[in-house]
Structure 1
Amino acid sequence: MTPRELLKQFWGHDNFRPMQEEIITSVLNGKDVLALLPTGGGKSVCFQIPALAKEGICIVVSPLIALMKDQVENLKAKGIDAISIVSGMSRREVDLALDNCVYGYTKFLYLSPERLMSELVRERIRYMKVNLFAIDEAHCISQWGYDFRPPYLHIADMRELHPNVPVLALTATATATVKEDIREKLLFKPGSELYQQSFARRNISYVVQDTENKQRKLLDVAHGVKGSGIVYVRTRRETAEIAKFYNDNNIKADYYHAGLSADERAEKQEAWKNNRNRIIVATNAFGMGIDKPDVRFVIHNEMPDSLEAYYQEAGRGGRDEQKAYAVLLYNNTDRIKHQHRYEQNFPAVEEIKQVYHQLGNYCQVAYDAGEGASFDLDLADFCARFKLDALRTLNALKVLEQDEYVSFNESVYLPSRFRFEVLNEELYNFQIQNPAWDPFIKTLLRSYGGAFENYVPMKEFDVARRSGTSTQQVIEALKQLHGVGLLSYLPQTDKPQLTWLKPRQQIKNLYINKVDIDNRKAAYREKMEAVFAYAGHRRCRSQMLLTYFDEQNPPKCGVCDVCLDEKRRKNADEIGENITSEIVQALSVEAVTLDELIGHLKLGTEKEKIETIRGLLDAGKIKTDGERYYL
Structure 2
Amino acid sequence: MSYLDILHQYWGYPDFRGIQREIIESIGSGKDTLGLMPTGGGKSLTFQVPALAQEDVCLVITPLIALMKDQVDHLRRQGITAAAIYSGMSRDAIVATLENCIFGGIKLLYISPERIGSDIFQVKLRHMKVSFITVDEAHCISQWGYDFRPSYLQIADIRKLVPDAPILALTATATPEVVDDIQDRLGFKERNVFRMSFERKNLAYVVRQTEDKNAEMVHILQSIPKTAIVYCRSRKRTKEIAQMLTQHEISATWYHAGLEPAVKDQRQNDWQNDKTRVIVATNAFGMGIDKPDVRVVIHIDCPSSLEAYFQEAGRAGRDGKRAYAVLLYNGNDNRTLQKRIEDTFPPKEYIQTVYDHLAYFYQIGVGSGCGCIFEFPIDKFCNTFKHFPIRANAALTILQRAGYIDYEQNPDTKARIRFLLNRDDLYRLDSLSDKENDIVTALLRNYGGLFSDYGYVDESYIAQEAGLDRNQTYMILVNLSKKRIINFIPRKNTPLVSYAQDRIDGVDVILDKNVYEDRKEQFIKRINSVINYAQNERICRSRQLLCYFGETKSADCGQCDVCLSHTDEDNDDEQKIIRQQLQALLSDRKKHHITEIRQLNDNWELMQEVMREMVLEEEILMDGSFLLLP
When the two structures are superposed, what TM-score results if normalisation uses the length of structure 2?
A: 0.84
1:494-550 Cα deviation digits (max 9, x unpaired) = 223315262442336644334420000100111111111111112111111111111
- Name the residue aligned to 1:492: 490
Distance 1:367 1:237 in 2: 38
Distance across 1 between alignment mates of 2:81 and 2:484: 33
Structure 1 residue 104 displacement after superposition: 6.1
Q: Does 1:400 align with 2:396?
A: no
- Aligned pair in 2 of structure 1 residues 581, 249: CA closer, same or farther (>3 Å)? same
1:506 aligns with 504
Once the two structures are superposed, what CA deviation does each residue of 1:105-150 show, in whole Å capped at 9, x if it has no partner?
Answer: 2333323223233333323222222111111111111111111122
Distance 2:366 2:116 in 1: 24
> How much has 1:96 moved relative to structure 2?
4.3
Paired residue for 2:262? 263
Is the aligned partner of 1:555 residue 2:555?
A: yes
| Counterpart contact for 2:366–2:505, Cα < 8 Å | no
2:4 counterpart of 1:4: yes
Contact 1:419 1:451 in 2 (8 A): no
* Shift, 1:386, TM fit: 2.7
1:118-197 aligned within 5 A: 118-190=118-190, 192-197=191-196
**Given the superposition, is the C-alpha separation of residues 463 and 188 from structure 1 closer, same or farther in structure 2, using an over 3 Å criterion?**
closer
In structure 2, C-alpha distance between the alignment counterparts of 1:588 and 1:278, rounded to whole Å? 62
The CA deviation at 1:569 is: 1.5
Q: Relative to structure 1, is the Cα distance of residues 356 and 541 closer, same or farther in structure 2, using a 3 angstrom cutoff? A: same
Whether the 8 Å contact between 1:151 and 1:404 is mirrored in structure 2 is: no
- Name the SS for the 2:174 alignment partner: coil
> Which amino acid counterpart does residue 548 of structure 1 have in structure 2?
Y
Task: Say if 1:468 and 1:41 are closer, same or farther in 2 by CA, change over 3 A.
Answer: closer
SS in 1 for 2:486: helix
Which shifted more, 351-360 or 514-523?
A: 351-360
Q: 1:395 to 1:470 in 2, by over 3 A?
A: closer
Match of 2:484 in 1: 473
Q: In structure 2, do the counterparts of structure 1 residues 290 and 602 end up closer, same or farther at CA, with 3 Å as the change threshold?
A: closer
CA–CA separation in structure 2 for the residues paired with 1:22 and 1:414 = 39
Q: Residue 468 of structure 2 aligns with which residue?
A: none
Which one is further off, 73-82 or 200-209?
Answer: 73-82
The 5-angstrom pairing of residues 571-590 of structure 1 reads: 571-589=571-589
Change (3 A) 1:517 1:60: same
Q: Is the 8 A contact 1:27 1:33 kept in 2?
A: yes
- Give runs of aligned pairs for residues 13-412 of structure 1, distance below 5 A: 13-91=13-91, 93-103=93-103, 105-190=105-190, 192-362=191-361, 374-412=373-411
Q: Using the alignment, how far apart are the partners of 1:80 and 1:401 within structure 2? A: 38
C-alpha offsets along residues 458-498 of structure 1, whole Å, 9 cap, x if unaligned? 5698699799965551334x8xxxxxxxxxxxx33222331
Change (3 A) 1:120 1:447: closer
Partner of 2:565: 565
SS state at 2:320 partner: coil
Q: Structure 1 residues 575, 408: closer, same or farther in 2, change over 3 A? A: same
**Cα deviations across residues 139-196 of structure 1 (Å, max 9, x unaligned)?**
1111111111222122110111111101000000111111111111111013x53111
Q: Structure 1 residue 243: deviation in Å?
A: 1.1
Aligned mates of 1:445, 1:219 — CA distance in 2? 48
Alignment partners' CA distance in 1, 2:368 and 2:618: 85
> Equivalent residue for 1:488?
none
For the 8 Å contact 1:297–1:327, the answer to whether it is kept is: yes
Q: How many angstroms apart in 2 are the aligned matches of 1:136 and 1:584?
A: 66
Question: SS of the residue aligned with 2:133?
Answer: strand
Question: Among 451, 467, 479, which residue is 2:447 paired with?
Answer: 451
Cα distance in structure 2, aligned partners of 1:371 and 1:102 = 33
* C-alpha distance 26-156 of structure 1, shift in aligned 2 (>3 A): same
| 1:50 CA drift (Å) | 1.5
Separation (CA, whole Å) in 2 of partners of 1:220 and 1:307: 25
Q: What letter matches 1:451 in structure 2?
A: Y
Alignment partners' CA distance in 2, 1:516 and 1:273: 40
Distance 1:554 1:467 in 2: 55
Q: Deviations over 1:569-610 (max 9, x none)?
A: 21222223223333343442269xxxxxxxxx9833699539
Q: Is the 8 A contact 2:206 2:325 kept in 1?
A: yes
- Give per-residue Cα distances to partners, 1:37-81, cap 9 Å, x unaligned: 001111122112212222222222222233223323323333434
Distance in 1 (alpha carbons) for counterparts of 2:477 and 2:388: 47
CA distance in 1, matches of 2:475, 2:268: 27
Q: Contact conserved, 1:72 with 1:84, CA < 8 A, in 2?
A: yes
Which of 94-103 and 330-339 deviates more?
94-103
CA spacing shift, 1:533–1:13, aligned 2, 3 Å: same
CA distance in 2, matches of 1:399, 1:607: 66
- For the Cα contact (< 8 Å) 2:57–2:106, is it kept in 1? yes
Q: Which residue identity is paired with 1:237?
A: K
Q: Which runs of 5+ in 2 are unaligned?
A: 430-436, 450-454, 464-471, 592-605, 621-627
* Cα displacement string for residues 397-455 of structure 1 (whole angstroms, at most 9, x for unaligned residues): 211222234443433444425699xxxxxxxxx98xx8446668998566454535996
**Aligned equivalent of 2:609:** 604
Partner Cα distance (2:438, 2:320) in 1 = 52
1:622 aligned partner: none
**Matches of 1:607 and 1:32, distance apart in 2:** 65
**Shift in alpha-carbon separation, 1:146–1:77, aligned structure 2, 3 A:** same
- Give the alignment's TM-score, normalised by structure 1: 0.84
**Whole-Å separation in 2 of the counterparts to 1:104 and 1:363:** 45
| Other structure's SS at 1:115 match | coil
1:313 Cα deviation (Å)? 0.8
Alpha-carbon distance in 1 for matches of 2:367, 2:122: 22
2:594 aligns with none
Q: State the alpha-carbon separation in 1 of the partners of residues 372 and 390 from structure 2.
A: 25
- C-alpha contact (below 8 Å) 2:575/2:610 kept by paired residues: no
Distance between the aligned counterparts of 2:371 and 2:96, measured in 1? 17
Match of 1:426 in 2: none
Paired letter, 1:116: I
1:8 offset after TM fit, Å?
Answer: 2.9
Asked whether the 8 Å contact 1:419–1:456 carries over to 2, the reply is no
CA deviations on 1:282-301 (whole Å, 9 max, x unpaired) are: 11111101101111111111
Q: Secondary structure at the match of 1:289?
A: coil
- The number of residues matched between the two structures is 585
Which range moved further: 270-279 or 440-449? 440-449
Q: Sort the Cα spacing of 1:613 and 1:287 in 2 relative to 1 into closer, same or farther, 3 A.
A: farther
Question: In the aligned structure 1, how far is the partner of 2:261 from the partner of 2:329?
Answer: 32
CA distance in 1, matches of 2:586, 2:81: 82
Change (3 A) 1:331 1:446: closer
- Cα separation, 2, equivalents of 1:316 and 1:234: 17
Identical aligned pairs, as a percentage? Answer: 41
Alpha-carbon distance change, 450 to 129 in structure 1, aligned in 2, over 3 angstroms: farther
CA distance in 2, matches of 1:67, 1:409: 19
How far apart are the structure 2 equivalents of 1:443 and 1:341? 47
